[in-house]
């Protein structure tokens, strides 16, 4: 059986950097350490960190009960009010916001200062989008679907700046921008989709189009993994979404000649290698 593993599978630069920053604090003996939300969407990594004493705060409100320690902001970033809250509590801050996300925060602030309303193309409930929105003024809007564009409280000729959630699907972003462009606003569009995501998606799509079965590895709550799965599913009907090797049913791939493997941005290399080794060992029937 031929097994192809995507070169872009797994941790992206920002996630790797954030995870390393947590381990670095542990090694330096910093105590107590808190992360604001799980550092990545991977249960195994989060569990390992918890065993090493890292506590996860479920929401910024929980900061109010923290008396001392270091708070690590994860790669998704947070809104300005959270920085203010940490400072007010007198806690130490380690900012592991991905530099690409940080850049969007800066764009939002600058564009607001220049009088533009910011439109974020993305998923309103995603922490990264909440964080980006948290740097914008009260006019900031989040848009995910084309239907929403028809019902926005905007006036003709309004000055807009469109940015994107870093993990948003590029084609959907393009369609939404096109829809906005037809409405006669004064628009600046900044494609802030991260290359890591695009490259992973393009490679996954290519591999999925060439193989008989495709395996997508990633956490249940990882939106970028879910998107990878959707992309692969379009190219290859036998696409399987798994979290770890335990979820893989060997029978699903034992009658095919070729298998592709990719993984979301929060999937540790160890899990990808485990799946790879085991798929290679599966005997064809």
Which residues are part of the catalytic machinery? 128
Of 267, 277, 279, the residue nearest 196 (C-alpha): 267
Per DSSP, 261 falls in state E
- The distance of closest approach from Cβ of residue 97 to ligand F3S in the complex, given in angstroms and rounded to an integer, is 9
Find out whether 165 and 123 touch, Cβ atoms under 8 Å. yes
Q: Which residue, 13 or 170, has its beta carbon nearer to ligand F3S?
A: 13
**By the criterion CB under 6 A, which residues form the site for ligand F3S?**
12-15, 75, 98, 100-101, 166-167, 194, 196-197, 265
Give CA–CA dist 187/191, Å, rounded. 12
Of all residues in this chain, which one has the CB nearest to ligand F3S in the complex?
A: 14
265 Cα distance to chain centroid: 7
Task: State the nearest-atom distance from the C-beta of 9 to ligand F3S, in Å.
Answer: 13
> Which CB, 14 or 127, lies closer to ligand F3S?
14
Question: Is the Cα torsion angle 102, 229, 244, 283 positive or negative in sign?
Answer: negative
Q: Hey, what are 54's tokens?
A: 């890292």
> Per the structure block, which two tokens stand in for 189?
């569009």
Between CA 53 and CA 261 the distance in angstroms is: 33
Nearer to ligand F3S, 193 or 236 (CB): 193
Q: Which is nearer to ligand F3S, 128 or 185 (CB)?
A: 128
Least distance in Å: CB of 144 to ligand F3S? 18
State in angstroms the smallest separation of the CB of 170 from ligand F3S: 13
């Amino acid at each position: 059986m031929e097994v192809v593993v995507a070169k872009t599978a797994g941790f992206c630069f920002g996630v790797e950097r954030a995870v390393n920053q947590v381990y670095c604090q542990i090694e330096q003996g910093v105590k107590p350490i808190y992360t604001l939300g799980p550092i990545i969407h991977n249960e195994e990594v989060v569990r390992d960190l918890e065993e090493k004493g890292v506590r996860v705060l479920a929401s910024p409100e929980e900061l109010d009960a923290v008396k001392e320690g270091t708070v690590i902001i994860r790669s998704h970033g947070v809104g300005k009010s959270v920085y203010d809250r940490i400072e007010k509590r007198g806690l130490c801050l380690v900012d592991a916001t991905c530099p690409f996300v940080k850049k969007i925060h800066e764009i939002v602030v600058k564009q607001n200062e220049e009088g533009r309303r910011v439109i974020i193309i993305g998923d309103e409930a995603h922490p990264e989008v909440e964080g980006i929105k948290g740097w914008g003024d009260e006019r900031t809007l989040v848009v995910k679907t084309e239907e929403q564009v028809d019902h926005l409280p905007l006036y003709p000729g309004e000055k807009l700046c469109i940015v994107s959630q870093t993990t948003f699907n590029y084609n959907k972003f393009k369609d939404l921008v096109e829809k906005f462009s037809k409405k006669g606003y004064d628009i600046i569009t900044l494609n802030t989709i991260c290359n890591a995501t695009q490259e992973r998606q393009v490679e996954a799509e290519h591999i999925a189009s060439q193989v008989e079965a495709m395996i997508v590895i990633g956490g249940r709550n990882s939106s970028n993994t879910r998107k990878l799965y959707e992309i692969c599913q379009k190219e290859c009907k036998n696409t399987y979404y798994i979290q770890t090797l335990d979820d893989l049913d060997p029978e699903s791939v034992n009658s095919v000649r070729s298998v592709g493997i990719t993984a979301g941005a929060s999937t540790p290399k160890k899990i990808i290698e485990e799946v790879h080794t085991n798929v290679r060992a599966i005997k064809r029937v």
